[in-house]
């Protein structure tokens, strides 16, 4: 990214301001590392994502299967639909997670952080990390929202593994085409508004993650951007994820219900009103336990893979320059 000292160079009077291009901060290595982390964590933990979504939309409709808990849900799906049933919607989930983490880390989060740090010697503060992560999340959501809609629709094809002929959607691309034909662009962007609110989840998570790393390195009397070991990364990632989930989970219920093909809502406020009226505060936290069980190790896997792969690729790049 050039000579660090150049950021402090004195400009000649009348000289044009230095070019501050966001794109020159994009790193292919971060894209590959984020993509790899998202794919690995999603493939391993997708069944828990399926359980979370099915609990989140459980609004009492007769067509929905009744589950007594996480294990009952997983064993019931396994019994009736096998492994394929537990992995319904895994393709858009992997594509969406891989694209989201890759874009988030490379084109958005790290690029935005580096852009904002130009001309500064000190590390970014918690507020700057928060804003950077929120901007990155909003940019990523604009690209990936249609993928998340198809994942939700595929996951909520009850008993699809028993009789494939009853499937409304045959797969990710079939879902994309059918949703576009029947509902237009608006259908592909269902849940976008609560998804934007959900960027606060990623913002809080990354703010906490970066702040924890900096505070930990300060406590250990080390440079703020010193690389941690795998166990330390796992602890930082887990704590930041639990904090973010606890603070923002209701938006995921609202978003999932908007994307569900088995019920119709006029908008975000309609979901909130009907959920509150029928289910109370507990309705906004349905599925939070399987979600925490899923996202905490998923986040740890993603961050560990990302930090190690990006470190390896960037180190390899320096050796060959």
How far apart are alpha carbons 26 and 102 in whole angstroms?
11
Rg (CA), the chain: 21
Characterize 25-63 residue by residue with b for buried, 16 or more Cβ atoms within 10 angstroms of its Cβ, and e for exposed. bbbebbbbbbbbbbbbbbeebbbbbbbbbbbbbbbeeee
Q: What are phi and psi of 282, to 5 degrees?
A: -60, -30
Q: What are phi and psi of 319, to 5 degrees?
A: -65, -30
Domain coordinates in residue numbering, the chain: 24-319
3-state secondary structure at position 60: coil
- pTM as predicted: 0.64
Strands of the chain, DSSP E: none
* CB distance 63 to 157 below 8 Å: no
User: What is the structure's pLDDT at 8?
Assistant: 34
In terms of Cβ atoms closer than 10 Å to its own Cβ (0-12, 13-18, 19+), residue 285 is middle
Q: Which residue has the tokens 């994502």?
A: 49
* CB distance 317 to 29 below 8 Å: yes
Question: How many residues are present in the chain?
Answer: 321
Element (H, E) at 231: helix 230-248
10-residue mean pLDDT profile of the chain (321 residues): values are: 35 40 57 76 88 87 85 91 89 85 64 58 66 77 91 84 72 93 94 83 80 87 81 87 86 90 88 93 90 81 76 73 67
Rounded alpha-carbon distances, angstroms, from residue 282 to 55, 56, 78, 249: 12, 11, 27, 12
- Give, in degrees to the nearest 5, the angle at Cα 241 between 303 and 75: 95
Exposure of 159 in the CB half-sphere (CA atoms within 13 A): 8
User: What is the structure's pLDDT at 19?
Assistant: 38
Residue 161 CB neighbours (<10 A):
20
Classify the C-alpha dihedral 186-188-190-194 as positive or negative: negative
Rounded alpha-carbon distances, angstroms, from residue 119 to 37, 115, 297: 31, 9, 37
Q: Is 84 left (phi over 0), alpha (psi -120 to 50) or beta?
A: alpha
Q: Which CATH code is given to the segment(s) 24-319?
A: 1.50.40.10
* Among candidate residues 88, 232, 97, the one with its CA nearest the CA of residue 171: 88
Rounded alpha-carbon distances, angstroms, from residue 314 to 56, 290, 303: 40, 35, 16
User: What is the structure's pLDDT at 175?
Assistant: 92
Q: Which two tokens stand for residue 207?
A: 């703010």
Classify the C-alpha dihedral 120-124-129-131 as positive or negative: negative
User: What is the structure's pLDDT at 117?
Assistant: 60
């Amino acid at each position: 990214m050039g000579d660090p000292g150049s950021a402090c160079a004195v400009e000649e009077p009348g000289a044009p301001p230095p070019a501050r291009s966001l794109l020159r901060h994009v790193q292919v290595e971060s894209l590959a590392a984020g993509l790899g982390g998202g794919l690995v964590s999603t493939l391993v933990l997708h069944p828990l994502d399926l359980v979370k979504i099915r609990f989140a939309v459980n609004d009492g409709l007769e067509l929905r299967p009744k589950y007594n808990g996480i294990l009952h849900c997983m064993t019931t799906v396994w019994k009736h639909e096998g492994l394929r049933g537990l992995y319904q919607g895994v393709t858009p989930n992997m594509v969406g997670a891989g694209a989201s983490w890759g874009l988030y880390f490379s084109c958005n989060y790290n690029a935005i952080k580096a852009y904002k740090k130009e001309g500064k010697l000190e590390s970014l503060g918690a507020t700057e990390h928060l804003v950077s992560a929120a901007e990155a999340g909003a940019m990523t959501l604009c690209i990936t929202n249609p993928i998340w809609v198809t994942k939700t629709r595929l996951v909520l094809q009850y008993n699809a593994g028993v009789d494939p002929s009853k499937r409304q959607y045959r797969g990710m691309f079939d879902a994309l085409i059918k949703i576009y034909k029947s509902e237009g662009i608006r259908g592909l962007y269902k849940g976008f508004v609560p998804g934007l609110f959900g960027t606060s989840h990623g913002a809080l998570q990354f703010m906490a993650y970066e702040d924890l790393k900096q505070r930990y390195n300060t406590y250990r009397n080390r440079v703020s951007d010193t690389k941690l070991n795998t166990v330390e990364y796992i602890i930082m990632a887990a704590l930041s994820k639990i904090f973010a989930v606890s603070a923002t989970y209701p938006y995921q219920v609202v978003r999932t219900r908007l994307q569900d093909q088995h019920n119709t809502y006029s908008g975000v406020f309609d979901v909130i009103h009907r959920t509150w009226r029928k289910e109370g505060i507990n309705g906004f936290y349905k599925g939070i336990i399987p979600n925490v069980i899923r996202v905490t190790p998923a986040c740890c896997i993603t961050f560990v893979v990302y930090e190690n792969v990006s470190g390896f690729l960037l180190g390899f790049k320096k050796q060959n320059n």
